[in-house]
Chain A
Amino acid sequence: MGGYAPWNADVAQQLVARLSGLEGAMLPVLHALQEEFGYIDSAAVPLIADALNVSRAEVHGAITFYDDFREGPPPARIIKLCRAEACQALGCESLVAELARSRGIVVDQHGAADLVVETVYCLGNCALGPAALVGDQLIGRLDAPRLMALCDGAAPARVQELPPGAAGRAAP
């Protein structure tokens, strides 16, 4: 995460132009902009509208409909914590409570903090929950100590280095 380029209208224009020939180009364009800049700058809206021959309202509508798209720069670190039923069955809500209790972190609260823990509904790791996603790295059998380590900035892969034989066996 992090390492995004600062907003640049020329780069954005090129990205939009490269993808605008696709059928139904809106989502690919929005994803490409967000991958480049970390969010979709409001200045991108007229560029997209022009290139795709739609109204600015339609672009704004798409950006705001989908949870993934951000309208401002992202925090340095995002932990997506699954709170759907299969992870509920393994106590993900106690992790939410623990975040609040020991770190004062309120899930889904976006402020000035470098770290945001976001709710996600299902990461497809339902047999090895509770699950979280950090960047592109999926984490299974999450428990409070490992979640706190992630909050402290531990690399997900390092968090996965468990004592011998412990992987996949940890009980909640």
Chain B
Amino acid sequence: MSAATTRVFVPVDAAALSVGAEAVACAIAAEAAARGLCVDIVRTGSRGMLWLEPLVEVEVAGRRIAYGPVAAGDVAALFDGDFLAGGAHPLHLGPTDALAWMPRQERFTFARVGVTDPLSLADYRAQGGLAGLTRALAMAPAEIVEAVRASGLRGRGGAGFPTGIKWKTVLAAEAERKYIVCNADEGDSGTFADRMLMEGDPFVLIEGMAIAAVAVGATQGYIYVRSEYPHAARTLRRAIVAAERGGVLGASVLGSPHAFRLEVRVGAGAYICGEETSLLESLEGKRAIVRAKPPLPALAGLFGQPTVVNNVLSLASVPWILAHGAEAYAGVGMGRSRGTMPVQLAGNVRRGGLIELAFGVSLRTLVEGFGGGTLTGRPVRAVQVGGPLGAYLPEHLLDTPLDYEALAAVGGMLGHGGIVVFDDRVDMAHQARFAFAFCAKESCGKCTPCRIGAVRGAETMDRIIAGEDRPANIDVLRDLSHLMTDASLCAMGGLTPMPVMSALTHFPEDFDPPALSAAAE
């Protein structure tokens, strides 16, 4: 034990664990013990370069040197190559902050993810945490709300509604009890930013919710996490305990007169709970049936009380805004999309992961530049942006900038910022059918256009795929899509036509029976 202790960082993020990070951490501990070397293994979130996971970092002269992807079987050779001193090895990647993905990003919300120990409040403070909440406590509630409004922050869950306006409504509402509800029911395929944030820096979400509570006068908060995220729920629960012990949560938020208590609630496998009113029903202990609006949740939300319902990323952006100022946040981005967006690159992509960038970057830069094209090496045929209710965009629309309005202008939506890449083997008629089938499976059943329309849509797609009276069935498809868009109660039925119609518009050849039968031969 003569040598100085070397800090080694191994992610505890679920994606890193899914490819063996736990075994790697164990192997490093065992190998160090066998060689009589002192290592301090710090478990962190993921840096977001998921194709490099498990990504192991070693602190050498104050700088982190990355190795990856590391398998447990590589560990002995890493020690042989003196990786504790940043030594050479085929998996040596160089300083983490200089890796191709990192310098080009603007990490506001994800500044600490992959850097700090997610459960160390001391680490959090040392890296700038709680500066936003401290500042907020010195401001009047209306000033906090105005700062959030002036930052231009819009709901990152998908709808893009200005967060400050929502808060203002709740602040103005008079009630005995108000709530802050975090929508962590991240059900969209291709999205994992909420999960990575909750696992990698839970305190920033807790701080954001505390700021919201102080701003609108709420005393109780809930984080509604989907049950498919057991790691995130566990991390949040531990972080809440640490925050209570550290005086961030409880009867007095950081010594102020504000009380704020926070609790994790776990969903039960219903995609619809990502819709805010259905999430509130679920939190109240009911079947998650969508509510008609009005009344807005801001006025009559959880248990009928004024409630802020925000996505994880919206709430987690607030500490940065308060700490650095609304102008600094609004100073990046394009058009009416201000600040940064954590983009998630997923599906058939060579380099997948999370990239936080100012709005305005093109899909092509993301998919081809950051992503390096498809994992299979085949041409990109389609990307689905914004989850299962988002549009399928063809290659020629990849120059569209990442921006709420620009994506809407090409018939798509940003959603929660997920981009799923498909190669040239994708069958878009089958993807369209899946969109309906998914809606049929996950519809809450309250409104007819969604409940019945989704089933009829899947049946119609079956006929089109089978080559039955294609022109007439495509007319039915269009008519049904119009109806679902116009008449559904919420985005589930209202947006299911988006992937369907975008597939039909951009890939009509896949809806053409001769082409299908030719492909089958």
Contacts and interface: CB of A to CB of B under 8 A. Distances in A.
Given A125-B14, A133-B228, A172-B376, A89 B348 contact: yes
Interface in B68-84: 68-74, 77
Given A85-B388, A167-B69, A124 B269 contact: no
Interface string B217-247: 0001000000111110000000000000000
Interface stretch (B118-126, B145-153, B158-166, B277-285): B277-285
Contact of A124 (B52, B191, B271): B191
Interface string A94-113: 00000000000000000000
Contacts of A26: 284-286
* Most interface-central of B15, B195, B384 (chain A CB within 10 A): B15
Contacts of A136: 230-231
Contact of B348 (A68, A90, A120, A165): A90
A154 B268 CA distance: 26
Contact of A167 (B70, B286, B375, B421): B70
B266 interface: yes
Contacts of A157: 22-23
A121 B19 contact: no
Interface in A106-149: 120-129, 131, 133, 136-141
Contacts of A24: 265, 283-285, 302-303
Contacts of A58: 286
A168 B421 contact: no
Given A66-B269, A124-B229, A140 B346 contact: no
- The DSSP consensus for interface residues of chain A is loop
Contact of B190 (A23, A126, A133, A140): A126
B15 A125 contact: yes
Contacts of B266: 27, 31
Nearest to A54: B285
A143 B227 CA distance: 24
B189 A87 contact: yes
A27 B23 CA distance: 34
B284 to A, nearest CB: 5
B186 interface: yes
Contacts of B286: 26, 58, 61-62
A86 interface: yes
Contacts of B72: 161
Contacts of A161: 20, 23, 71-73
Contact of B51 (A90, A123, A168): A168
A68 B344 CA distance: 27
Contacts of B227: 31, 68
Interface string A62-84: 10011111000000000010101
Interface residues of B, number: 78
Contacts of B301: none
Contact of B269 (A62, A67, A87): A67
Interface in B354-409: 375-376, 384, 388
Contact of B287 (A25, A62, A86): A62
A32 B459 CA distance: 39
A88 B384 CA distance: 12
B352 interface: yes
B389 to A, nearest CB: 11
B14 A164 contact: no
A124 to B, nearest CB: 4
Contact of B375 (A85, A87, A90): A90
Contacts of B497: none
B271 A61 contact: no
A53 to B, nearest CB: 11
A124 B191 CA distance: 6
B54 interface: yes
Given A86-B418, A166-B71, A168-B52, 7 more contacts: A58-B286, A66-B268, A67-B269, A67-B270, A85-B420, A122-B187, A138-B231
Closest 7 CB pairs of A and B: A127-B352, A26-B285, A84-B189, A140-B18, A66-B268, A126-B346, A89-B347
Interface of A: 23-28, 30-31, 52, 54, 58, 61-62, 65-69, 80, 82, 84-90, 120-129, 131, 133, 136-141, 157, 160-169, 171-172
16 contacts: A24-B303, A27-B266, A27-B285, A65-B288, A84-B388, A89-B347, A121-B271, A124-B15, A124-B228, A127-B346, A127-B352, A128-B53, A140-B18, A157-B23, A161-B20, A164-B73
